[in-house]
């Protein structure tokens, strides 16, 4: 139930976003490093993550933002070396506080909540589940024209899940990337 409330809240945020003051929408490309050692044993250090994000200013210097991303990787099981595929679709919402450093240059920090949909498929199993988590983030916003802005973003996420008895995982980790934002 909470999962659906979160998605409704996300949609409402997007609609408000469309009708509020300064709005930003953009595309994101980054690298997602999952911190769980079990992930490293099977998939290595991580892979590219991409997606879209939207934000708008609700108060002076405070933005509310939402994002949807996609992450996938391919690996081998630890003993039998069988091929396995793993995907995450993270939905996130949060707030960030901006500090002007120079004209057209801002730094920010903030935090929020996440809902991770994940799926892992092997030769004889198919795990599908979703889990709540939270994140902290920081970054730099650099205006490159009147309508374009670059967002250099760094994010730490923690999302604990228990897909099976005796199996406890952390889907979160450290993520860094860049967004190109259109202001309208």
Partner 1 sequence: MNVLKFLKSKIVLISLFLLLLCFPAWSWKIPSSISPPQIPCQEPKFAVDSYNRLHVVYSGEHSGNLEIFYSVIYKGKLLYTINISSNSGDSISSSIALDSNDNPHIVWVDSSLGNKDIFYIYYSDEGWSFPVNVSNNPGDSENPKISIDSKNNIHIVWEDNTNGNYQIFYKRYSNEKWFSIKNLSQDITESHNPCIAVDRENNLHIAWSGSVSGIYDIYYVKRTKGKWTAVLNISNSSQESINPSLEVSNGNIYVVWEEKSDSNSHILFTKYSEKKWITPVNISGDYTKSTHPSIAISNGSNVHVVWAEDRTESDTSEENYDIFYRSFYNEWLSIKNISDNSSNSKNPEIRVNGENHLDVVWEDGGDEDSVILYNRQTRPVARAGSDKKGEKGDFIRLEGSKSYDPDGEKINYHWSFKSKPEGSKAELSDPYAVDPSFTIDVAGTYVIELLVDDSSDKSNPDTVVIYDENKPPVAVATSDKTVALIGENIKLDGSCSYDPNGDSLSYLWSIKSRPRWSTAIISNNQSENPSFKPDCAGEYVLQLVVNDGELDSDPFELKMFVKEYAIDFSCSRTTGLAPLTVNFNAQVFTISSHKIKNYKWDFGDGRTGTGKSVSHTYLKPGIYTVSLTVIEENDEEISYRITKENLIEVVKVFPPLNVAVERMEDRSFTHIKYVNKITWSENPENEDVVKYRIYRRGFNQNDDEFVLIATVNGNTFEYLDKEIGKVRGYVYVVTSVDSHGNESSKSEYAIEW
Give the interface with partner 1 as residue ranges (CB under 8 A): 36, 38-39, 41-43, 75, 77-80, 82, 84, 86, 118, 120, 122, 124-125, 127, 129, 161, 163-164, 166-167, 169
**Nearer to partner 1 among residue 15 and residue 79 (C-beta):** 79
Phi, psi torsion values for 61, nearest 5 degrees = 75, 0
**Which DSSP letter does residue 37 get?**
H
Instruction: State the Cα–Cα distance between residues 62 and 65, nearest whole angstrom.
Output: 10
**Closest separation in Å from C-beta 82 to partner 1:** 8
**Closest separation in Å from C-beta 35 to partner 1:** 12
**Nearer to partner 1 among residue 20 and residue 127 (C-beta):** 127
Instruction: State the Cα–Cα distance between residues 50 and 61, nearest whole angstrom.
Output: 26
In angstroms, the Cα distances linking 122 to 77, 78, 107, 126, 152 are 9, 13, 42, 6, 35
**Closest separation in Å from C-beta 117 to partner 1:** 13
């Amino acid at each position: 139930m909470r999962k659906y409330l979160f998605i409704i809240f996300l949609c409402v945020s997007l609609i408000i976003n469309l009708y509020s003051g300064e709005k930003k929408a953009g595309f994101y490309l980054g690298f997602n490093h999952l911190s769980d050692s079990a992930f490293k044993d099977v998939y290595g250090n991580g892979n590219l993550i991409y997606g879209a994000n939207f934000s708008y200013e609700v108060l002076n210097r405070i933005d509310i933002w939402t994002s949807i991303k996609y992450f996938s990787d391919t690996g081998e099981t630890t003993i039998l070396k069988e091929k396995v595929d793993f995907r995450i679709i993270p939905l996130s919402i949060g707030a960030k506080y901006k500090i002007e450093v120079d004209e057209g240059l801002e730094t920010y920090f903030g935090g929020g909540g996440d809902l991770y949909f994940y799926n892992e498929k092997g030769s004889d199993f198919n795990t599908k589940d979703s889990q709540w988590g939270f994140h902290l983030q920081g970054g730099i916003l650099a205006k490159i024209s009147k309508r374009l802005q670059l967002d250099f973003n760094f994010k730490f996420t923690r999302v604990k899940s228990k897909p099976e008895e005796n199996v406890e995982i952390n889907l979160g980790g450290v993520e860094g990337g860049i967004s190109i934002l259109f202001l309208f």
